[in-house]
């Protein structure tokens, strides 16, 4: 299929397809002597998989590191294992950010209490 049909079927723009193709997310794409690219059903499946992985919170770089694993074997276990590793790292980073935010919140509350105490002392 040509890029327009692929874009329509996948619900993305031709520009998105070109970008993903540059990143290698679509696998092997045939290019005819006339310059047209012809996309297979696998390209469409890859676009669907990219969309799912983006919804899970993976970046395009992370998707690039895992997408081929999904199309190497029918069970897709290797791809799923790699995604679990990536999501575990995301969770770890999220926990660290939450700890830092909680510490920041405590500092704000402490500063607010200190300033309120100063105001109360000056008002008396």
What are the φ and ψ backbone dihedral angles of 38, each rounded to 5 degrees? -115, 125
How far from the centroid of its chain's Cα atoms is residue 37's Cα? 26
Tokens coding 64: 């690039």
The sign of the CA dihedral 49, 89, 85, 24 is positive
pLDDT tens-place values along the chain, 124 residues long: 999 999 999 999 999 999 999 999 998 888 887 888 899 999 999 999 999 999 999 999 999 999 999 999 889 999 999 999 999 999 999 999 999 999 999 999 999 999 999 999 999 7
DSSP class of residue 58? -
Q: 3-123: which CATH number, 2.40.160.60, 1.10.1660.10, 3.30.70.2340, 3.90.100.10?
A: 1.10.1660.10
CA distance 45 to 30: 16
Q: Residue 17's closest CA among 7, 9, 8, 27? A: 7
């Amino acid at each position: 299929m040509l890029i327009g049909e692929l874009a329509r079927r996948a619900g993305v723009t031709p520009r998105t397809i070109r970008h993903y193709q540059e990143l290698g997310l679509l696998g092997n794409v045939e290019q005819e002597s006339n310059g047209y690219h012809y996309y297979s059903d696998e390209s469409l499946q890859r676009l669907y998989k990219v969309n799912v992985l983006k919804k899970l919170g993976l970046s395009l770089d992370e998707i690039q590191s895992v997408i081929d694993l999904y199309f190497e074997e029918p069970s897709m276990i290797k791809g799923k294992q790699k995604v679990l590793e990536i999501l575990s790292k995301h969770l770890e980073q999220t926990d660290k950010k939450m700890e830092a935010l909680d510490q920041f919140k405590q500092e704000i509350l402490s500063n607010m209490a200190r300033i309120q105490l100063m105001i109360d002392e000056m008002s008396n």
